[in-house]
Chains A and B, each alone.
Chain A
């Protein structure tokens, strides 16, 4: 099972499912992070966490722990 948290930089992947608590799922969906969308890790912050991801035209900061609930297609 691939998770967004472990995705290397600049390797596009497709989101399979959001296995996150309800409020976080809602926030992710609002920003366009949804099953079926393509996601790419742009960079990780200087201290290693959080990371910056690109979904469509949106750049989003997400913590490692939060990205652990975002499952990717193999």
Chain B
């Protein structure tokens, strides 16, 4: 397999052996699914707003280069400085150079998945800059020196007890409490000091509006508003697909996003930022920078089918509804984006050599496709990536990296047998007679019988029975 591949199977096995983790996810995902269903109980409304949301995203993709140029022009006119980064290294360097110019020592961050993609915290720490997550879930995960396990609810893998222990252990003078209000208040007191002291605020972008040069952020806690309002400099990082054409495109997407993500009709705050502090205004950052990141997205965009991956509005509903994700949790994917969307996005970004197993972390049950608010054909893309992984080509990074002669031979043999009525009859006849003698130590059968009884071949096939019973053949 050439380059080192990340071992999803191993990581997921570890996760499966943690009953607490499994219970945490099961409970959380069950709750999220039923609450979301209530939000979309009116199926006519759901179908209409979903079609509208999908059309907004598709229209944005259909004009992507033009809209990014328009966004840049309108942001620039509004006083927002726009930067372009082909890679995460480049994006980090841009962020660092801004920090160094303003001599920043402390950064407060709102939630941003792109910054996870960039491993921005670690990068800034290396350069002596303290980078503090301010979303409560992200703050918890950062205290725990871990990765988020869900794109919307980063600390969903932990329960209150675990967080209570973490706070006691990591926060100076913290008293042990399992009272959620007290834990939250402790974080509030600590982080408010940090907001006031921070030199720079970093945020993601839920949507950027080309028409007006507006950055939209949705959140419940107020940390996003703090991070984008209190420090003198605000840096927003966004994946290049996050642009929409018009301001009126924002309401349907936000409605789909918040209802799908956390089953809220709307988040506490919808924060629309169009410029830095103007003359006479008393607060808000004096500088706003927008970093537009590619990191493989333009390559994804080049393929007619795969570009649908870029419709995503990062609601995380596919995770909540994925029976695989629900079992193993987000960490098993070892990627900023776990679950179904991660299983198609991450292999395209990082290559099928390294991440070719992720499209197989899926039973193709289509639960995600059923609820995706922008109708991404996730499972079709999953299938396409499985094919790309074993066939050399240039549509996807690492295409063919998982090609195996032996596996290809098996499928070739299978197709020759199954495409020929005679060969098929011979093979099934043989299996009917001898198949049950196969020892359970055989590969595949061994995995199957781990928790299951051995499947039993019938003595006579349906073909045999139909012939015997005189069922007509034509």
Does B bind A? Answer: no
Residues of A within 8 A of B (CB): none
Residues of B within 8 A of A (CB): none
